[in-house]
Chains A and B, each alone.
Chain A
Amino acid sequence: MSAVLTLLRRELKLAARAGGGGGMAVAFFLIAVSIVPLGLGPDLNLLGRIAPGFLWVALLLSALLTLDRLFQADQEDGSLDLLMLAPLSLEVTVFIKALAHWLTTGLPLILAAPFLGLMLNLPENSILPLVVAMLVGSPALSLLGAVGAALTVAIRRGGLLISLLVLPLYVPTLIFGVSAVSNVLISSPGSSGQASLLLLGAVSLVALVVGPLGGAAALRANLR
């Protein structure tokens, strides 16, 4: 247990001291959100309608942009070899790395999302559903992303490849995440926001299994 905490503390410290922590991700999120009205025009009705979807897409993209260094930085300075030799099982290591990734990119973005939502004229009654849906759904982004990061650990400039590998796997999270919010806006018959939220949780739970297992297998495959 102390090994787990030590690893987590190391990851968070590294993120805070060398990577700018969550600040960089939030800045990206802010810029991504502010170029949308520039592209689509400042029509508040239109912006309010697309706000939940766009906030989710921006969350996906900013998670993706930070993924390629998840294992690569450790692989370059050799600490990944030490982590693999350590008594901690590799699956747990991958889980901790994914958790740290979520804490440093996912969580700050979720905290920033309500304010950016206001900028996009997101109706006030859907701010809480948005935050809840993001809290439930975004762990899947880091967990599945860890598989992509582990697969491309030995590839220089693997960033584009990661997007190609990982984005298809993000589709369920995006769909359920957006529908959990939009169903509050337009209550469509036969489906409710709660069902989407439950399915979103199911996707995250599947990712909780697939992510560490797949990530560890991919690391073993790449660094024999």
Chain B
Amino acid sequence: MVRNLHALANPTRFLRLSGLLLPVIWVLALGLLGAGLYMSFFTAPPDYQQGETVRIMFIHVPAAWLSLFGYTLMAGASATALIFRHPLADVAAKSAAPVGAAFTFLALVTGALWGKPMWGTWWVWDARLTSVLILFFLYLGYMALWATIEEPVRAARAAAVLALVGFVNVPIIHYSVEWWNTLHQGASVLRLDGPAIHPSMLWPLLVMALGSTFFFLAVMLTRMQAEIYRRRVRQLQLARASTEAGAF
């Protein structure tokens, strides 16, 4: 495992491999999302209580899952960057952050759209909503730190420390908010005694979740490629600036 990670540490090899994989992942992501959206909008039945608004769930739930998946991925990559000094891990963490933040935002917005007809209000200060909002702030802080520190190596280390400190705090924040106030329904898919939702709704949800995950990975890998090229351009510019300065 560790050796495999180190084989990927060479950016050129990573670019070649991701160049091969990316088209496949994009096709999988778009195909699954297309199929999932068709199923959610046309084949899944309306809920007997919530009516058509239940279809928002097929976007909301995967987005909420991915908001946590993204932060976990970011923290894992940050730990790898700090411990093994893996040169691509900080690129991965940096690239995952905006995607994760976008899914967190999507989860908040779709939640608000669902909350208006169901709970009668766009926003309630309920435990789940609040902890997702705070997760969004953690993403923003992480991205802001990357944006303010100019030198990539230093920014990477500092951001990695922040991601790990945040990751330790996420469960604490979650449970403290839960303790504070709860209105949101409990988990209905990942439960010990089997999912509490009918297969006709479970399937579109799972397809959407898988498709969104592939979409997450596709965007993240594309961003990683762009980041590697950006760093190369920066290196070339620095090298040219120093030779030009040397000429005078």
Q: Mark B154-168, 1 if CB is under 8 A from A, else 0.
A: 100110111011101
Interface: A184 (CB within 8 A): no
Interface: B189 (CB within 8 A): no
Q: How far is the CA of A143 from the CA of B169 in the complex (A)?
A: 13
Known contacts A168-B134, A171-B134; A217/B161 CB under 8 A: yes
The residues in B between 79 and 114 inclusive whose CB is less than 8 angstroms from any CB of A are 82
Are A210 and B165 closer than 8 Å at their CB atoms? yes
Q: How far is the CA of A175 from the CA of B164 in the complex (A)?
A: 22
Chain A residues whose C-beta falls within 8 Å of the C-beta of B154 in the assembled complex = 154, 221-222, 224
Count contacts on B: residues with CB < 8 A to the other chain: 27
Q: How far is the CA of A206 from the CA of B169 in the complex (A)?
A: 9
Interface: B176 (CB within 8 A): yes
Are B173 and A155 closer than 8 Å at their CB atoms? no
Are A218 and B177 closer than 8 Å at their CB atoms? no
Chain B residues whose C-beta falls within 8 Å of the C-beta of A214 in the assembled complex = 161, 164-165
Closest to A160 in B: B144
Minimal beta-carbon separation of B98 from chain A (angstroms):
16
The residues in A between 1 and 52 inclusive whose CB is less than 8 angstroms from any CB of B are none
Minimal beta-carbon separation of B146 from chain A (angstroms):
11
Are A151 and B161 closer than 8 Å at their CB atoms? yes
**B176 in complex: contacting residue of A155, A199, A218, A222, CB < 8 Å:** A199
Interface: A203 (CB within 8 A): yes
Are A175 and B157 closer than 8 Å at their CB atoms? no
Chain B residues whose C-beta falls within 8 Å of the C-beta of A175 in the assembled complex = 176-177, 179-180
Q: How far is the CA of A154 from the CA of B165 in the complex (A)?
A: 19
Q: How far is the CA of A224 from the CA of B169 in the complex (A)?
A: 27
Interface: A164 (CB within 8 A): yes
Interface: A95 (CB within 8 A): no
Minimal beta-carbon separation of B35 from chain A (angstroms):
37
**A168 in complex: contacting residue of B149, B161, B164, B166, CB < 8 Å:** B166
Minimal beta-carbon separation of B104 from chain A (angstroms):
12
Interface: B138 (CB within 8 A): yes
Are A221 and B158 closer than 8 Å at their CB atoms? yes
Are A164 and B140 closer than 8 Å at their CB atoms? yes
Chain A residues whose C-beta falls within 8 Å of the C-beta of B158 in the assembled complex = 151, 218, 221-222
Interface: A179 (CB within 8 A): yes
Are B137 and A168 closer than 8 Å at their CB atoms? yes
Q: How far is the CA of A155 from the CA of B144 in the complex (A)?
A: 12
Are B137 and A154 closer than 8 Å at their CB atoms? no
Q: How far is the CA of A218 from the CA of B163 in the complex (A)?
A: 11
Are A164 and B137 closer than 8 Å at their CB atoms? yes
New A-B contacts (16) at CB < 8 Å, excluding given A154-B154, A164-B141, A171-B173: A147-B162, A158-B148, A168-B134, A168-B138, A168-B141, A168-B166, A169-B165, A169-B173, A171-B177, A176-B176, A203-B172, A210-B165, A210-B169, A214-B164, A218-B158, A221-B160
22 pairs, A vs B, C-beta closer than 8 Å: A147-B161, A147-B162, A147-B165, A151-B145, A151-B162, A155-B149, A161-B148, A164-B140, A168-B137, A168-B141, A169-B165, A169-B166, A172-B173, A172-B176, A175-B177, A214-B164, A214-B165, A217-B157, A218-B158, A221-B154, A221-B158, A222-B154
Which chain B residues have a beta carbon within 8 Å of chain A's beta carbons?
82, 134, 137-138, 140-141, 144-145, 148-149, 154, 157-158, 160-162, 164-166, 168-169, 172-173, 176-177, 179-180
Which chain A residues have a beta carbon within 8 Å of chain B's beta carbons?
144, 147, 151-152, 154-155, 158, 161, 164-165, 167-169, 171-172, 175-176, 179, 191, 199, 203, 206, 210, 214, 217-218, 220-222, 224
